[in-house]
Amino acid sequence: MSFPLYAPAEEHDMLRETVRALADEKIAPRAAEADEAEEFPWDVYKALVASDLHAIHVPEAYGGAGGDALAAVIVIEEVARACASSSLIPAVNKLGTVPIMLSASEELKQQYLPAVARGDAMFSYALSEPEAGSDAAAMKTRAVLDGDHYVLNGTKMWITNAGVSEYYTVMAVTDPSAGARGISAFVVEKSDEGVSFGPKERKLGIKASPTRQVILEDVRIPESRMIGAPGTGFKTALATLDHTRVTIAAQALGIAQGALDYAVGYVKERKQFGKAVADFQGVQFMLADMAMKLEAARQLTYHAAAKSERAMKGEPQKDLTFLSSAAKCAASDAAMEITVDAVQMLGGYGYTKDFPVERMMRDAKITQIYEGTNQIQRMVMARQLLK
């Protein structure tokens, strides 16, 4: 697919219609229940797989749909409009596999990407640790070479879809004397001996997507499962985030759009002082501001997606790091503001679980935190400006 820098092409518009129809029919009706039960929505996963929307980014060479970065954004955005937890299926599949697409041997790509494309396995990303969140280079997980195998020991924290994913991109220290240049990337399988998972975190939002520790105890894996050369893992991790921060921006856009759509519908119907709430100028100005913030963030996100696509195709984009951080930061800040305003517009009803905007407000918060807090994003942007 080729597309102009800011505007989606016709095939992207058709993709949006397809995803929205699926989301309205199969995902939105399950969102409140999945949130309440804190259970991974396997039926939603199967519906996404059946429509080839669970990992649209996997290249055709590996059995995937070969969707570009904007296609991935649109899928995540439209699923998140219905259910933020479910949007983590396509988002995390991309996060887990981008390190392989960027840095792995052809053999490793052939070994793992087709299973993801078929929907036989999901792929999570394991970078953070209990003492290494924003300071990811301070990780303690070790990988020690023993013959033609590596032995991994450590604990990864905040791992999205841990336990339901079959495969994990794991960053581990192979040379403790080399700092960030001593970190390497590996593929670990759920079935590898010594892999276990901590209890599910009890979270504010995205409750239907499990977040757990991944615990590695003497996990022995073949040397061939290293992604790229020894010591290149942290570089791969940072390059990955340049692409996947755009998908978090997409998730934030979707949550915000869902909240705005619901609020607009509500204020048109709800009557106070003898007229529709939508007739009050104070409410109209709030809606205008919500829509303006959302559209500004969307344009920035699509622009970043266009840059991400070019970079994936091997054309260096020196402003991708800035733009992906800016998109993630702007979209998540907008989502938080818009969902808070949507709750306000519904008044007392907005504060109850009978209406979806309180869930959207809870879900929006994580987009300001994961894949780099918005404070870290501002540091990244400033560094890009000052270097």
Degrees (nearest 5) of the Cα angle 202, 203, 205? 145
Q: Is 94 within 8 Å of 72 (Cβ atoms)?
A: yes
Q: CA–CA distance from 77 to each of 26, 152, 253, 301 (Å)? A: 16, 36, 6, 11
Residue 228 and residue 236: Cα distance in Å, rounded? Answer: 8
Q: 167 pairs with which residues across the strands?
A: 123, 189
Catalytic residues: 371
Which token pair is 165?
A: 């994913």
Handedness of CA 314, 315, 316, 319 (dihedral sign): negative
Residue 209 and residue 189: Cα distance in Å, rounded? Answer: 19
Residue labelled with tokens 């705005």 = 260
Residue 368 and residue 366: Cα distance in Å, rounded? Answer: 5
Q: What is the DSSP letter of 129?
A: B
